[in-house]
Chains A and B, each alone.
Chain A
Amino acid sequence: MILAFVEHDAGIPTRSSLEALTFARRLAASNGMPLAAVLFGAGGDSAAAALGAYGVSAAHLVTHPALDAYAPAAWGRSVAQVAAAAMPSIVLAAGTDRGQEVLAYAAAMAGAPMAANCIELRPGGSGEPFELTRQRWGGSLLEDARLDGPVRFVTIAEHATAPEVVAASLAVSVQAFEPTLSDSDLRVQVVGRVAPEAGKISLADARVVVGGGRGVGGSEAFSELEELAGLLHGAVGVSRVVTSAGWRPHSQQVGQTGTRIAPEIYIACGISGAIQHIVGCKAAKAIMVINTDRDAPIMSRAAYAVIGDLHTVVPAISAEIRRRQAQ
Chain B
Amino acid sequence: MNILVCVKRVPETGGRVTLTADERDIDTRYLGFTVSPHEECAAEEAVRLVEANGGSSTVLTLGPEAAADQLRAAMAIGIDRAILLETDGQDWDPVSTAAAIVEAIRAESATGTEYDLLLFGNEAADSGDFQVGIRVALALGLPCISGVKSLEIKAGMATARREAGGGWEVFEVPLPAVVAVREGINLPRYPSVPGRLRARKKEIQRSVPTGPGSHLAGPEKIRLRLPAETEGHVQILGNGAEAAPAVVDVLERIGVLAR
Contact = CB atoms under 8 A, between A and B. Distances in A.
B167 A196 contact: yes
Nearest to B95: A113
A178 to B, nearest CB: 22
Nearest to A249: B184
Interface stretch (B12-20, B49-57, B103-111): B12-20
Given A232-B256, A256-B125, A193 B222 contact: no
A117 B128 contact: yes
A258 B183 contact: yes
A131 B223 CA distance: 11
B164 to A, nearest CB: 7
A140 interface: yes
Interface string A126-148: 00000111111111111111111
Interface string B218-259: 111111111101011011111111011101101110111111
Contacts of A264: 254-256
Interface in B135-182: 135, 138, 141, 143-147, 161-162, 164-174, 182
B125 A305 contact: no
A319 B244 CA distance: 9
Given A256-B125, A304-B237, A316-B244, A115 B218 contact: yes
A299 B17 CA distance: 16
B143 A304 contact: no
A113 B217 contact: yes
A305 B235 contact: yes
Contact of B141 (A184, A257, A321): A184
Given A136-B127, A194-B170, A146 B218 contact: yes
Contacts of A196: 165-167
B116 interface: no
A312 B241 contact: yes
Interface residues of B, number: 85
Given A104-B130, A192-B170, A195-B167, A147 B219 contact: yes
Given A113-B216, A136-B128, A155-B130, A257 B182 contact: yes
A196 to B, nearest CB: 3
Contacts, number: 275
A97 B147 contact: yes
A275 interface: yes
Given A104-B131, A139-B227, A193-B170, A304 B250 contact: yes
A191 B170 contact: yes
A136 B126 contact: yes
A101 B123 CA distance: 11
Residue of A131, A143, A197 ringed by the most chain B CB atoms within 10 A? A143
Contacts of A171: none
Contacts of B239: 306-308
A153 B111 CA distance: 36
Interface in A96-118: 97, 100-101, 104-105, 107-109, 111-117
A17 to B, nearest CB: 14
B129 interface: yes
B81 interface: no
A191 B171 contact: yes
Contacts of A148: 216-218, 220
Interface in A154-195: 155, 184, 187-195
A87 to B, nearest CB: 17
Contacts of B224: 136, 141-144
A188 B128 contact: no
A303 B227 contact: no
Given A105-B134, A108-B138, A309 B240 contact: yes
A72 interface: yes
Contacts of A112: 216
Contacts of A83: none
Given A137-B125, A145-B219, A276-B13, 12 more contacts: A101-B134, A104-B131, A117-B128, A134-B219, A148-B216, A256-B125, A257-B183, A288-B250, A302-B232, A303-B235, A308-B239, A317-B244
Interface of B: 13-17, 26, 36-38, 93-95, 123, 125-131, 134-135, 138, 141, 143-147, 161-162, 164-174, 182-184, 187-188, 215-227, 229, 231-232, 234-241, 243-245, 247-248, 250-252, 254-259
21 contacts: A101-B130, A104-B135, A108-B138, A113-B218, A137-B17, A139-B227, A141-B26, A143-B127, A145-B218, A188-B143, A191-B172, A196-B166, A202-B166, A289-B234, A302-B232, A303-B232, A304-B250, A305-B235, A309-B240, A313-B243, A320-B247
